Chains A and B, each alone.
Chain A
Amino acid sequence: MEALFAAVTGFLAASGLYLALRGRTFPVVVGLTLLSYAVNLFLFSTGGLTTDGAAVIQQGVSHYADPLPQALVLTAIVIGFAMTAFSVILAMRVRGDLGSDQVNDQRAEESREDKS
């Protein structure tokens, strides 16, 4: 299970990183989202991987999963979700304001050169 989990996390992170380095805003947003999924999976595994473990202490149960990473992941998911929504809107606004979906738009660079 560990090998599969690690491979999935690594693949997600690699894809996210690749997309985040692209030149257009949409792949960048998708890349950052994938990266945050990879991070969430990674955080989830930091307490050790257990199956069928109880998260809340009960009598007669000896097999537990660490509940803290689950709480951390929940926080990270909420923040990540809000940030995805925000960056999608922002990417659309970049498209509207600059007339281009390039992250480093040449036209904006030129107008700045003219001004200074």
Chain B
Amino acid sequence: MQHLIVLPILLPLLSGLAMLAKRDASVLPRRAIGMISTGLLVVVGMLLVAQSAGGQITYYALGDWQPPFGIILVLDRLSALMVCLTSFLALGSLAYACAGDDMKGSNFHGLFQLQLMGVNGAFLTGDIFNLFVFFEILLIASYSLLMHGGGKERTQAGFHYVALNLAGSAMFLIALGVLYGTTGTLNMADMSLKVAELDPNRLGLLKAGAFMLLVVFGLKAAILPLYFWLPRAYSNAPAPVAALFAIMTKVGVYAILRVYTLIFGGKAGELADFVQPWLWWFALATLALGGVGVLSARDLRSQVTYLLLISVGTLLVGVSMNREAPIAALLYYMIHTTLVSGGLFLLADAIGEQRGKASARIVPGRGVTQPALLGLFYCVGAVTVVGLPPLSGAIGKALLLESALPDEQPWLWSILLLSSLAGLVAMSRSGSTVFWKAGRRDSEGPRLKAMMLTGLILLLGASPILSILAGPITEFTRASAVQLLNHGAYVEAILPHNVAGGGP
């Protein structure tokens, strides 16, 4: 049980390496290894959630080098939740990919596992340089996955994505250098202690570093001035990859949540909670622009990317409110939105495949081969992503709206509800165009394969389950929010001897 924490990183690493070893073997064993490994990850994720549910924070010192000197992996409720969510999303998109998308290029399964390793590592690490390393791992895997299958537009979108993220990585390193230079440590818990008792002359430098980190995480999360890469990259990516990428923006949101509550949180002295007021306005602007974008989309896939942007705005608004209730609400909303946007990417692809030449564009064209089945999925997806009751989107948004203070309400309620309205208008328009303005349909056309159906059911079917289990899940997210804001308990769990006196 002690080594459970490291499994979400080791398992995909080993299976990814195993699949890279025999590259020209037939695809079946690789599919089997991929599905088994991802299935095991789901089990490990659930065990981790169960282990963390008691409230204790455990860490795993790699090579038995104790913190603050060694690299550690930290398990608390939030990181367990994120790992579990990632593995579940991965299972759904991998199932869909096994229907044939994985054959369109080489090495899909190996890269997919390495991507999972990077994402899980980023959620579990307790060392800020290690966070950079895991960001790089997930980015490098994502560069290749994004261009899986090839094609002109994919190549160009891929080059933009790579160039932008290389610049982002350079900035990440500069920020880390500044943080290390001023605090002299890389362990996040230790750094949070050092920040509080910093020499006032170095505060400006540290603040600059912290803002640069925000820019880097904002680039990953796609906040307003930094989101322009996202619609093109995601709408050109192969469907299962786009579905998996639904977690990538959440890695950025998670990093913001972790760094700015732990290192620059309430106990950080001069720099306590300095970033949240900035984040509030940027998040609201992202929400508003997501609403405009979703109305302007002419393709189902790019419509889903703008819905993803709306969800990023919603999540970051919750982060910037920085209290228990909004954070608990945003964690519930995060589970919902990750799975549902992943499912919608898959659905857009399935619809596009059945409509022949019209593809996923929102124009009247040939009807889909299975209108009842895909229509049902579309209905569930649209209702939940827009936030209509009774599905999970409504619960998440209602919790968030309820948690706003009176002086936050005018801004949050108006912008969040208006962008939801925009989503509703856009989804009803595209739904009626695709399903009702359809011409003659080709009953001999391509049908959903079993694995595609499995993927769709896993991701979109999660929404009704999330609303049925809303009670226990919100209890867990509330407990996670309490734990996240309890700075003392985190530091004490990792550095039991250092709490009173600072460094040795």
Q: Which residues of A contact B (CB under 8 A)?
A: 20, 25, 28, 32, 35-36, 38-40, 42-43, 45-47, 68-69, 72, 75-76, 79, 82-83, 86-87, 90-91, 93-94, 97-98, 103, 105, 108, 111-112, 115-116
Contacts and interface: CB of A to CB of B under 8 A. Distances in A.
B178 interface: yes
26 contacts: A25-B159, A32-B163, A32-B167, A32-B170, A35-B166, A35-B170, A39-B170, A42-B174, A43-B176, A45-B177, A46-B181, A69-B180, A72-B176, A75-B129, A79-B169, A82-B140, A86-B140, A87-B166, A90-B158, A94-B156, A98-B152, A98-B155, A103-B159, A108-B156, A112-B153, A115-B361
Given A39-B177, A75-B129, A86-B143, 5 more contacts: A32-B170, A43-B176, A72-B129, A83-B140, A108-B153
B186 interface: yes
Nearest to B297: A116
Contact of A42 (B140, B152, B155, B177): B177
B457 interface: no
The 4 closest A-B pairs by CB, nearest first: A46-B181, A46-B177, A97-B155, A43-B177
Contacts of B186: 68
Q: Is the interface of A mostly helix, strand, loop or mixed?
A: helix
A40 B180 CA distance: 14
A86 B152 contact: no
A36 B136 CA distance: 14
A36 B170 contact: yes
For B167, B176, B177, the residue with the greatest tally of chain A CB atoms inside 10 Å of its CB is B177
B133 interface: yes
Interface in B135-153: 136, 140, 143, 150-153
B180 A46 contact: yes
B429 interface: no
B159 A108 contact: no
Nearest to A75: B133
Nearest to B136: A79
For B150, B158, B166, B298, the residue with the greatest tally of chain A CB atoms inside 10 Å of its CB is B166
B354 to A, nearest CB: 19
Given A20-B167, A42-B174, A97-B152, A90 B162 contact: yes
B166 A68 contact: no
B166 A32 contact: yes
B7 to A, nearest CB: 24
B160 interface: yes
Contacts of B129: 72, 75
B199 to A, nearest CB: 15
B173 interface: yes
A20 B152 contact: no
B140 A90 contact: no
Nearest to B150: A97
Contacts of B158: 90
A91 B140 CA distance: 16
A47 to B, nearest CB: 7
Interface string B350-387: 00000000000100000000000000000000000000
B152 A108 contact: yes
A93 B146 CA distance: 14
A76 B173 contact: yes
B324 to A, nearest CB: 36
Contacts of A25: 159
A116 B299 contact: yes
Contacts of A36: 166, 170
A86 B180 contact: no
B72 to A, nearest CB: 16
Nearest to A16: B170
Contacts of B159: 25, 90-91, 94, 103
B155 A43 contact: no
A94 B298 CA distance: 26
Nearest to A28: B163
Given A35-B167, A87-B166, A94 B174 contact: no
Given A39-B170, A42-B174, A86-B140, A93 B155 contact: yes
A9 to B, nearest CB: 10
Contacts of A32: 163, 166-167, 170
